[in-house]
């Protein structure tokens, strides 16, 4: 046991001698006498003591602007709290879009095919004999889009006009690759009243190309409901379209039909 203790003490002394080749540090004075520790002390002073030459020059806005340098007790920020916000510049240069920047596209923005199907219905309605103008209220995917034709007649022939519009919707969707009028093989249109009807347009996601439930697309509903192993269009994949004719006379309240 004593031999082990002596061996450990000798080993400790040898390690200490290697760590302090110039002798033991003077702990009472608090100042390291070893050159190695003097270097460490110098680095510490560089971190704590302010450089009299000032900070390194850097862009005044962090990533942009001319290079500026701050010297303690000599310089100060002149536009503090006025770089941005209501007291700042009207339009910051960094906010400008590059010429090749891609504009933001919302998930509710209809696909090009869906917009083409709706546009075909608008064109046909605009060319109807007693329609003087057409307004479109875009509700985006997952919402309701209103197509309102203003008639110059107090008794418009909606039956004939709607038959052409419905046929156009079906034909336009049939020509597309991934856009469908839900229930196209059964009952695709819902007559709301003599002057309006509705339809649901669905755009099939790429992830559903091989797993789509065709009963839903063709018949408008799935007989298997929750037990179906195929993919159904979600609300964001659909858009409800209401086509209506506003006859001459007092204006109709369009928003009531969006419920």
123/235 same-domain check: yes
Higher pLDDT, 126 or 90: 126
Q: How far apart are the two ends of the chain, measured CA to CA in Å? A: 93
Residue 96: exposure state from Cβ atoms within 10 A (0-12, 13-18, ≥19): exposed
The pairing of strands 144-151 and 179-181 is unpaired
Length of the chain: 259
Residue 156: exposure state from Cβ atoms within 10 A (0-12, 13-18, ≥19): buried
pLDDT at 52: 63
Tokens of 137: 């209220």
62/134 same-domain check: no
pLDDT digits (tens, 9 = 90+) for 165-184: 999 999 999 999 999 999 99
Domain boundary (95, 130, 159) is at 95
The CATH number that applies at residue 126 is 3.30.460
The average pLDDT across 99-116 equals 76
119/37 same-domain check: no
Domain boundary (52, 69, 95) is at 95
pLDDT digits (tens, 9 = 90+) for 146-158: 999 999 998 899 9
Is pLDDT at 36 greater than 50 in this prediction? no
pLDDT at 72: 72
Tokens of 238: 């659909």
Domain boundary (63, 95, 127) is at 95
């Amino acid at each position: 046991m004593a031999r082990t203790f002596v061996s450990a003490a000798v080993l400790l002394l040898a390690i200490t001698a290697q760590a302090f080749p110039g002798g033991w540090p003077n702990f009472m004075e608090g100042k390291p006498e070893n050159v190695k520790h003097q270097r460490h002390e110098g680095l510490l002073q560089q971190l704590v003591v302010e450089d009299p030459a000032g900070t390194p020059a850097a862009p005044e806005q962090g990533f942009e602007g001319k290079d500026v340098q701050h010297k303690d007790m000599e310089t100060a920020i002149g536009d503090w709290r006025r770089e941005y916000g209501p007291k700042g510049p009207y339009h910051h240069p960094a906010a400008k879009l590059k010429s090749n920047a891609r504009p933001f596209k919302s998930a509710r923005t209809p696909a090009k095919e869906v917009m083409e199907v709706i546009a075909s219905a608008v064109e046909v309605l605009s060319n109807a004999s007693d329609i003087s103008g057409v307004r479109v209220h875009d509700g985006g995917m997952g919402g309701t889009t209103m197509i309102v034709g203003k008639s110059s007649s107090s008794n418009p022939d909606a039956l004939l006009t709607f038959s052409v519009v419905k046929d156009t919707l079906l034909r336009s969707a049939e020509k597309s690759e991934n856009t469908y009028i839900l229930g196209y093989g059964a009952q695709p249109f819902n007559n709301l009243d003599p002057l309006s009807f509705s339809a649901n347009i669905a755009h099939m996601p790429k992830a559903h190309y091989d797993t789509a439930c065709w009963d839903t697309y063709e018949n408008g509903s799935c007989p298997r409901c929750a037990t179906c192993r195929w993919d159904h269009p979600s609300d964001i994949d659909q858009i409800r379209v209401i086509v209506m004719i506003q006859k001459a006379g007092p204006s109709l309240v369009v928003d009531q039909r969006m419920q």
